[in-house]
Chain A
């Protein structure tokens, strides 16, 4: 029993949970922002995560190749930084393209129809990936040599610390952006009322594109971190992560950055700690049951406020 408790509360689990949670949190932020600003379920977001991961993979492999060939010798940390930045920018464009093709034509349609287009764009992204790259799984190049730090009887790798740290930085950055800048204020205003606010001169289309771009960039960061933590990529990896992050986004409350991040980490903790007690097949069952329970008593999530969904159908 002692040993069990020691295992259960070990720092190891906490770090693992933080790492898993940061993936969920980063993806959930994208869902949450789109849902907050446009009141839409962007069901393609999980596959944007996958796309970001693949874009990162290609950039990283390309740069490593160039570096090894001596054409463009770069230190590994610079490659990593470049990969993250470039992938975030490119995936932001993917997100904006999705908004332009799948959501903007449907702005006056029933919201459920837009959800269906999102779902279909997700399937197109998965299948397109499969058709172009084939069924073989890709291995993310190791950019930073793994160093294991022994600390209080637990072993923590430097990648895990970096992933958690960078994720937190990104989340704080987003929070500051939404709180402090004019664009962030426009987004919050849109979330408050997207019928009246455009009449006040706030450009709805630009805000929508910005929302999708920000969310997709964060998903791309999550994708690259995922590639660093579990170096195998496959076209369907976005599905389960995406849907779980979607549930986390709702749990956090509509449009709440803090809530989505918190709920993402909570989901990570639940999954890791459930797996230490029960067989790991019970993970989804228990995680979703807990979420269902929380939502039963707090229907609007942690930080959400009661609202009336303007169902236009």
Chain B
């Protein structure tokens, strides 16, 4: 009894201390944070190499120092303390310090600008935030090709995770067919590019001048998405007749069928796969599509259909009784999710310039499911966090080789046990709230938020 009281008060004291440290940053708006991040990456661009050199690191640590610390721990443990200190110093000097400093210094300005945007033109505000975000990402990635690749793959992972979250989180079904949809999209978009714009071993001379390619690329991606949606009809028609775990099995069988189909289609390369896609999926293109997908999917889940989705999940009979057209809702959602998975697959094919059936199997399924459930069901922010977190973790642990595939599953199991619906589940993503100025009086230190019911 006494002990419990002590720990409680200790916890409260810790919380109070954290709040005191955080106090100067409570009124920092998103705009200021973005400015801070921009300052940090510019700083890295200008002085990163020198700082790394002074700290005794051979090059700029590419992933906030995680990768280099782990690599040292694995290969040369004797140098670990030195590298650890250097990495921490590097991250503090290059990232943390500028972010905090600039964010704090521009707090007033940022709030005023944000208020201006909110009052005059919300749209302009969003655009300015996106431009700042893109600039940050671009400058950060500019350090090395590896960062560009990781960044593009992460953005694609966000799209896939979001689209699967529509079915598994918002609609409460369990779909296993996303790798299949990605494969359909990837192959369709690749065939589109290769037939029209590339002189290729499989399809011969291009039908259109190659210079038109980048402008027609969105059409190819949309075609990929539509093909994936077409495939989704094959899954949806038989499986939405009954409720339950039916979709899980049908979609699993569908995934195997798609993979096996591409292995047997010789005109797209069979099991060897198909290469030579032009690298049109550059960072700005992928960023644009990712933002588009987040925007559209976020609007979708907040629309009437989105509400209907949740109603179907929570009680299909009740939803039906309340005049929700459950059949239509399920079909629309599933096809919509498949479309975005197809687009993401098409982008992926043009990032790595190669597709083969083997990469759209069980492994991919486990990865995508892990991202969705890690981040959180029924939540756009959760999906972004899940995809980014999983990708970063996966890259950071790369030097551990196969032990990576023990650590990641263990982490995920822990997340499942302690937060069964994922890290950030059931949160609405409200852009207006996100970019709003934060300088209204924040009062009431004693305000306690009610615990979120599980």
Contacts and interface: CB of A to CB of B under 8 A. Distances in A.
Interface in A107-131: 109-110, 112-117, 119-121, 123-124, 126-128, 130-131
Contact of A313 (B254, B263, B417, B421): B421
A196 interface: no
Interface stretch (A63-71, A74-82, A158-166, A242-250): A242-250
Q: Which of B254, B260, B271, B413 neighbours the largest number of chain A CB atoms within 10 Å of its CB?
A: B413
A247 B420 CA distance: 26
A121 B366 CA distance: 11
A313 B377 contact: yes
B256 interface: yes
Contacts of B366: 119-120, 123
Question: Is chain A's interface secondary structure helix, strand, loop, or mixed overall?
Answer: helix
A110 B420 contact: yes
A118 B249 CA distance: 16
A112 B373 contact: yes
A109 B416 contact: yes
A246 B402 contact: no
Interface residues of B, number: 43
A112 B168 contact: yes
Contact of B244 (A41, A279, A289, A307): A307
Contact of B406 (A110, A128, A309): A128
Given A41-B248, A299-B246, A308-B244, A291 B253 contact: yes
A113 B405 CA distance: 19
B245 to A, nearest CB: 5
A285 B417 contact: no
B253 A247 contact: yes
A120 B409 contact: yes
A284 B260 contact: yes
Interface string A252-281: 000000000000000000000000000101
Nearest to A104: B417
A114 B420 CA distance: 8
A286 to B, nearest CB: 9
A198 B304 CA distance: 40
A116 B313 contact: no
Nearest to B259: A284
B416 A113 contact: yes
B246 A124 contact: no
Contacts of B276: none
B217 interface: no
B264 A282 contact: yes
Contacts of A106: 416-417, 420
A41 to B, nearest CB: 7
Contact of B241 (A127, A288, A299): A299
Nearest to A123: B409
Contacts of A101: 413
Contact of A309 (B243, B261, B313): B243
Contacts of A128: 406
A243 B362 contact: yes
Contacts of B256: 243, 284, 288
A292 B248 contact: no
A225 B413 CA distance: 32
A239 B365 CA distance: 13
Q: Which of B168, B174, B370, B409 neighbours the largest number of chain A CB atoms within 10 Å of its CB?
A: B409
Given A123-B366, A123-B405, A285 B421 contact: no
Nearest to B238: A296
A307 B370 CA distance: 28
A309 B313 CA distance: 12
Given A119-B369, A288-B256, A127 B417 contact: no
Interface string B405-425: 110011011001100110000
Contacts of B403: 127, 131
Contacts of B257: 284-285, 288-289, 292
Nearest to A309: B244
A115 B174 contact: yes
A189 interface: no
B102 to A, nearest CB: 40
A102 interface: yes
Given A113-B420, A123-B366, A243-B252, A281 B264 contact: yes
A247 B253 CA distance: 8
A215 B421 CA distance: 28
Contact of B250 (A246, A281, A295): A295
B394 to A, nearest CB: 13
B242 interface: yes
A285 B370 contact: no
A116 B241 contact: no
Given A109-B420, A288-B260, A295-B249, A116 B369 contact: yes
Interface in B84-136: none
Interface in B340-372: 362, 366, 369-370
Q: Which of A279, A307, A309 neighbours the largest number of chain B CB atoms within 10 Å of its CB?
A: A309
B213 interface: no
B413 A121 contact: yes
A112 B174 contact: yes
A50 to B, nearest CB: 14
Contacts of B412: 116-117, 120
B260 A120 contact: no
B49 to A, nearest CB: 37
Contact of A308 (B243, B253, B260): B243
A186 B263 CA distance: 46
Given A284-B260, A309-B244, A127 B405 contact: yes
B416 A288 contact: no
B269 interface: no
Given A116-B373, A131-B406, A239 B362 contact: yes
A105 B416 CA distance: 9
A150 B48 CA distance: 77
A189 B312 CA distance: 29
A247 B261 CA distance: 18
Give me the 4 closest cross-chain CB pairs, A-B, nearest first.
Answer: A109-B420, A120-B409, A309-B244, A285-B260
13 contacts: A41-B248, A102-B413, A106-B417, A119-B366, A120-B370, A120-B409, A124-B405, A124-B410, A126-B405, A281-B260, A288-B257, A299-B246, A309-B244
Interface of A: 41, 101-102, 105-106, 109-110, 112-117, 119-121, 123-124, 126-128, 130-131, 239, 243, 246-247, 250, 279, 281-282, 284-285, 288-289, 291-292, 295-296, 299-300, 306-309, 311, 313
Given A117-B416, A308-B244, A309-B244, 7 more contacts: A109-B416, A112-B168, A113-B373, A291-B253, A299-B238, A313-B172, A313-B313
